[in-house]
A and B are shown apart, each in its own frame.
Chain A
Amino acid sequence: MRAIVRGIGWGAAGFALGALAATAAGWAAGRPPRAEVLVTLGYVAGLTGWLLGVGLWDAWARGWFGLPVRHEPDHTWRRYFRFTTDHKVIGVQYLVTFVVLFVLAGAMALVMRVELAAPGPTVMSAGAYTHLMSLHGIIMIAVAVATILGGFGNYLVPLMIGAEDMAFPRLNALSYWLVPPVAVLLVATPLAGGFDTGWTAYPPLSEVNASGQVLFNLAVITFGLSSILGGINFLATIVGLRAPGMTWRRLPIFVWAVFAASLISVTATQYLAAGLLMVLLDREAGMAFFAAARGGMPLLYQHIFWFYSHPAVYIMILPAFGLALEVLTHFSRKPLYAYPWVVGGFLGIVGLSFVVWAHHLYTSGMRESLLGPFMATTELISIPTGLVFLAALGTLWMGRLWLRTPMLFALGFLFNFLIGGVTGIFNADVPTDLHLQDTYFVVGHFHYTIVGGMIFALFAGLYYWFPKITGRMYDERLGRVHFWWMFLAYNATFLPMFWAGVHGMNRRIADYPAPLAGVNLWISAMAVVLGASVVVFLWNAVASWIRGPQAAANPWGARTLEWQVPSPPPEGNFPHPPRVVGDPYAYGVPGAAHAVVAAAGGAGEGGG
């Protein structure tokens, strides 16, 4: 906690210095700078101060000046509140931080649904609704981007490939400690008038609205930096630190998924940062990238924005694909069906994800000759995605399906994502999208892929690796109650949204015509039931973490490497580097082994 207090102190000092320097420069130039400029420049210095104070100075930067680096090993709970380089600590930091943000933004959604339960204002003004909706959107986007990738990616990739840690442990800690300022800025936006542009920040609106927009832009640019650094680290780790014998053909599918998602993180995120920076420059420095009144091009922003933000949905969903396939395989007791096809599918998705962005712009007024080509590339993405379904169904077929909670959530993922995928065809098709664009049909579609898909996969992972991470077993009965409650309430909430959208309910709207009252009341009621299901999970997680029964090293009898070490794994993961000798999924093959892991008592065979 001391590190955090020092980070806040240094951050505040940095902010004051930056704002002061800006003021001085402004006066020197004969013009006092505007408050938004002060905040922007103060933030840059404040962020630097925060990072140095929270641990970058002690653990890293002292070395640049020839001073001894300070690093005390810490095995208490305090290490979760410090600049710690252990990938498992960082994984847990990501998981807990983003589950908390998920619950927060989920609560916002419930307040929104209360407002929408009846036409006309019910509990808040339309303006407050618009601010709340925008905040819900961007926090959930961050949750979708970072929870599986930052949480399970950090915790599991080194373990699964037989490495001690990530390739750049200090960079990894830096990626995580960039996140708290993002959360603080976003939550602070209401103090600066909020932002009413959704998470998409389209100009010219984002250049003329309240100052909360500036905080939004700074937060998202910072989050992008964290995402890029994390992506570089995953790529370097997976390429460089695989244990002897861990060939690309033997890589667990979750690691492949993290690899594919990281390829997108490091190559696309810059575009979003650049777009938001250009908005800031238009706004603060009078430039004219997008300001139509000064000759700028509003449509240009939409292209730049979606050039990142469409690939970004695959940063969200690829790790979820990998996670769900991992769980389906181990709980079907069969090899992952058509493994090379899945890898090809992942890489095909990465490639195609870069050439589909303008399907968000069918109604934007862009050249009509572009509609056909972007419709074609968009529809083609169903082919690599179809391969993931082939693998899932092929793995289930003739398996020995052990229906524990993780498996239930993985099956729920398949069902929900199937609906998300099939309804995606209606959005990808230009004629139908002319009607469906910006309606609740789209809201239903992307919530089916992200909540029904990514969040269900996240819960599969949380239950699956709970015993590994905490060393304790969760309560299976509560887990099943959570699954069925959440699965039924989820579908009851989001399925009617397709109908509402087709019947004239547009998205991001605080009010609607009276004939849509019935369907909205139903959605709101079911949303409350859905929200309550998360309480079952939180209770189970907290209670089991404190006093659940001790978990075995490998309670699921799974073959991958993370299950061949104690629960929780020791610092450094493996006493000696494991030797990988075979496929991670060779279930049903007599005598097959995945790896030889040296245990305390001598060499033992993993995953028999």
Chain B
Amino acid sequence: MTRHAGWVVLLWVVLTALGLVGAARVDLLPVAAAREARIIDDAFRFLMLLAVPVFTFVLAVLLYAVAAFRARREPPEDGPPLWGRSAVPWVWLAVTSALAVYVIVNPGLRGLAELRSDRHADLVVRVEGSRWVWRFVYPESGVTSRELVLPVGRRVRFDVTGVDVVHSFWVPAFRVKVDAVPGMTTSVYVTPTRTGDQAGDVNFRVQCAELCGLGHHLMAAPVRVVDPGAFEAWVAGGRSP
């Protein structure tokens, strides 16, 4: 029994090490171009750190059991009647409960609080989704555009609404997403932290993420994050810099 348990622990440690090295080497996440993306990526990496040992623990027991306890043909005798009336289920319950509660708090509630911590906006952009185009309105300057142009380092509030059916405003490089619902306005805050455009990286795009009918795939718009000066020039020009 102790010998078996020792092998499982060894297998667990080895698999966990392999898993963590693998996770560190794989290109896990795309370009992060906003403060929000950093918070969300931190949460993603932290969950990965927790998920790998949980996954490898179950895998280690499973693999070891198959390797060590397999029978070539119909087993002539039964295994030992272990009913689980020991302390093991209680320990299991305690550990899994502690893990679940911990994950709720961190990164869950903590990340959520961080995302919501800053409610001021340097710039407001109204986003309207209709089948199958995005329209961006800059109320302060009266500019309307099919391209989302943003100044780097400024905090932006998007006020999002749907004109006909439900759409969803998603910029993969910013990581955030909020639905565009007819009859209501939903808001999301983003602070872009690096310049870039769709030509350089496709994750700089507004992608409709809620199925909105036959042309759903058409509903993407380019995103361009520029220096504040270039942004002012773009606004002044009414359309393009």
Question: Which chain A residues have a beta carbon within 8 Å of chain B's beta carbons?
Answer: 126-127, 130, 196-198, 200, 202-205, 208-209, 292-293, 295-299, 332-335, 337-339, 341, 363-365, 368, 371-372, 375-376, 379-380, 382-383, 386-387, 389-391, 393-394, 396-403, 411, 414-415, 418-419, 422-423, 425-426, 429-432, 434-435, 437-439, 499, 502-504, 506, 508-516, 557, 586-589
B240 within 8 A of A: no
* Contact between chains at A510 and B216 (CB < 8 Å): yes
Query: What is the CB-to-nearest-CB distance from A418 to chain B, in angstroms, rounded to a whole number?
Result: 5
Query: What is the CB-to-nearest-CB distance from A361 to chain B, in angstroms, rounded to a whole number?
Result: 9
B28 within 8 A of A: yes
Query: In the complex, which residues of chain B have a beta carbon less than 8 angstroms from the beta carbon of A387?
Result: 89, 92-93
* Contact between chains at B30 and A380 (CB < 8 Å): no
Query: In the complex, which residues of chain A have a beta carbon less than 8 angstroms from the beta carbon of B80?
Result: 334, 398, 588
* Contact between chains at A431 and B107 (CB < 8 Å): yes
B133 within 8 A of A: no
B241 within 8 A of A: no
Q: A387-B89, A397-B69, A402-B73 are in contact. List 15 more A-B contacts (CB 8 A).
A: A292-B182, A293-B182, A332-B79, A334-B79, A365-B181, A380-B100, A382-B100, A383-B97, A386-B96, A415-B59, A435-B172, A509-B217, A511-B217, A587-B79, A588-B77
* Contact between chains at A292 and B47 (CB < 8 Å): no
* Contact between chains at B103 and A394 (CB < 8 Å): no
Query: In the complex, which residues of chain A have a beta carbon less than 8 angstroms from the beta carbon of B74?
Result: 402, 557
Comparing B10-18, B145-153, B201-209, the segment that makes contact with chain A is B201-209
* Contact between chains at B82 and A334 (CB < 8 Å): yes
Query: In the complex, which residues of chain B have a beta carbon less than 8 angstroms from the beta carbon of A587?
Result: 78-79, 81
* Contact between chains at B78 and A393 (CB < 8 Å): no
B227 within 8 A of A: no
A363-B168, A508-B216, A509-B216 known; A503-B79 Cβ under 8 A: no
Complex interface residues of chain B between 55 and 103 (CB less than 8 A to chain A): 55, 58-59, 61-62, 65-66, 69-71, 73-75, 77-84, 88-89, 92-93, 96-97, 99-101, 103
Instruction: Using CB atoms, name the residue of chain A closest to B175.
Output: A435
Query: In the complex, which residues of chain A have a beta carbon less than 8 angstroms from the beta carbon of B202?
Result: 504, 513-516
Question: Interface readout for B200-232 with A: 1 if CB under 8 Å, 0 if not?
Answer: 001101011111111111100000000000000
Query: In the complex, which residues of chain B have a beta carbon less than 8 angstroms from the beta carbon of A386?
Result: 92-93, 96
- Alpha-carbon distance between A297 and B216 when the two chains are bound, in angstroms: 22
Complex interface residues of chain B between 164 and 189 (CB less than 8 A to chain A): 164-166, 168, 170, 172, 175-179, 181-184, 186
- Alpha-carbon distance between A372 and B113 when the two chains are bound, in angstroms: 10
- Alpha-carbon distance between A398 and B1 when the two chains are bound, in angstroms: 8
A387-B93, A418-B58, A432-B43 known; A504-B179 Cβ under 8 A: no
- Alpha-carbon distance between A390 and B96 when the two chains are bound, in angstroms: 10
19 pairs, CB–CB < 8 Å, chain A vs chain B: A196-B214, A297-B183, A338-B83, A339-B84, A363-B177, A365-B186, A372-B108, A372-B112, A403-B66, A403-B70, A425-B47, A425-B51, A426-B47, A435-B177, A506-B208, A508-B216, A509-B217, A510-B216, A589-B81
* Contact between chains at A401 and B66 (CB < 8 Å): yes
B39 within 8 A of A: yes
Instruction: Using CB atoms, name the residue of chain A closest to B177.
Output: A363
- Alpha-carbon distance between A580 and B64 when the two chains are bound, in angstroms: 36
- Alpha-carbon distance between A429 and B41 when the two chains are bound, in angstroms: 12
Query: What is the CB-to-nearest-CB distance from B82 to chain A, in angstroms, rounded to a whole number?
Result: 6
* Contact between chains at B166 and A204 (CB < 8 Å): yes
Instruction: Using CB atoms, name the residue of chain B closest to A364.
Output: B179
Query: In the complex, which residues of chain A have a beta carbon less than 8 angstroms from the beta carbon of B168?
Result: 363, 438
* Contact between chains at A506 and B209 (CB < 8 Å): yes
* Contact between chains at B213 and A196 (CB < 8 Å): yes
A387-B89, A397-B82 known; A126-B214 Cβ under 8 A: yes
Residue from A200, A295, A393 in contact with B58 in the complex, judged by beta carbons closer than 8 Å = A393
* Contact between chains at A198 and B39 (CB < 8 Å): no
A126-B214, A401-B70, A511-B217 known; A333-B166 Cβ under 8 A: no
Query: What is the CB-to-nearest-CB distance from B173 to chain A, in angstroms, rounded to a whole number?
Result: 8
Query: In the complex, which residues of chain A have a beta carbon less than 8 angstroms from the beta carbon of B9?
Result: none
Query: In the complex, which residues of chain B have a beta carbon less than 8 angstroms from the beta carbon of A398?
Result: 1, 4, 69, 79-80, 82
Query: What is the CB-to-nearest-CB distance from A24 to chain B, in angstroms, rounded to a whole number?
Result: 35
* Contact between chains at A338 and B89 (CB < 8 Å): yes
Instruction: Using CB atoms, name the residue of chain B closest to A438.
Output: B209
Query: In the complex, which residues of chain A have a beta carbon less than 8 angstroms from the beta carbon of B209?
Result: 363, 437-439, 506
B239 within 8 A of A: no
B156 within 8 A of A: no
- Alpha-carbon distance between A337 and B184 when the two chains are bound, in angstroms: 52
Query: In the complex, which residues of chain A have a beta carbon less than 8 angstroms from the beta carbon of B115?
Result: 431, 434
* Contact between chains at B108 and A375 (CB < 8 Å): yes
- Alpha-carbon distance between A334 and B84 when the two chains are bound, in angstroms: 11
Query: In the complex, which residues of chain A have a beta carbon less than 8 angstroms from the beta carbon of B108?
Result: 372, 375-376, 379, 429-431
* Contact between chains at A399 and B166 (CB < 8 Å): no
Query: What is the CB-to-nearest-CB distance from B8 to chain A, in angstroms, rounded to a whole number?
Result: 9
Residue from A203, A299, A397, A432 in contact with B65 in the complex, judged by beta carbons closer than 8 Å = A397
B7 within 8 A of A: no
Query: In the complex, which residues of chain B have a beta carbon less than 8 angstroms from the beta carbon of A403?
Result: 66, 70-71
- Alpha-carbon distance between A471 and B115 when the two chains are bound, in angstroms: 61
* Contact between chains at A502 and B28 (CB < 8 Å): yes
Query: What is the CB-to-nearest-CB distance from B93 to chain A, in angstroms, rounded to a whole number?
Result: 7
Residue from A127, A292, A338, A511 in contact with B84 in the complex, judged by beta carbons closer than 8 Å = A338
Instruction: Using CB atoms, name the residue of chain B closest to A386.
Output: B96
* Contact between chains at A298 and B183 (CB < 8 Å): yes
Instruction: Using CB atoms, name the residue of chain B closest to A377.
Output: B104
Query: What is the CB-to-nearest-CB distance from B233 to chain A, in angstroms, rounded to a whole number?
Result: 28
* Contact between chains at B69 and A292 (CB < 8 Å): no
Query: In the complex, which residues of chain A have a beta carbon less than 8 angstroms from the beta carbon of B83?
Result: 335, 337-339
A130-B216, A587-B81 known; A365-B178 Cβ under 8 A: yes
* Contact between chains at A204 and B92 (CB < 8 Å): no
* Contact between chains at B203 and A504 (CB < 8 Å): yes
- Alpha-carbon distance between A402 and B214 when the two chains are bound, in angstroms: 51
Query: In the complex, which residues of chain B have a beta carbon less than 8 angstroms from the beta carbon of A414?
Result: 58, 62
- Alpha-carbon distance between A386 and B101 when the two chains are bound, in angstroms: 14
* Contact between chains at B177 and A437 (CB < 8 Å): yes
Complex interface residues of chain B between 123 and 178 (CB less than 8 A to chain A): 160, 162, 164-166, 168, 170, 172, 175-178
B40 within 8 A of A: yes
Question: Interface readout for B5-44 with A: 1 if CB under 8 Å, 0 if not?
Answer: 0000000000000000000001011100000100110011
Query: What is the CB-to-nearest-CB distance from B77 to chain A, in angstroms, rounded to a whole number?
Result: 7
Instruction: Using CB atoms, name the residue of chain B closest to A555.
Output: B74
* Contact between chains at A400 and B78 (CB < 8 Å): yes
- Alpha-carbon distance between A126 and B124 when the two chains are bound, in angstroms: 34
* Contact between chains at A391 and B84 (CB < 8 Å): yes
* Contact between chains at B75 and A400 (CB < 8 Å): yes
Query: What is the CB-to-nearest-CB distance from A287 to chain B, in angstroms, rounded to a whole number?
Result: 15
A205-B166, A425-B51 known; A588-B79 Cβ under 8 A: yes
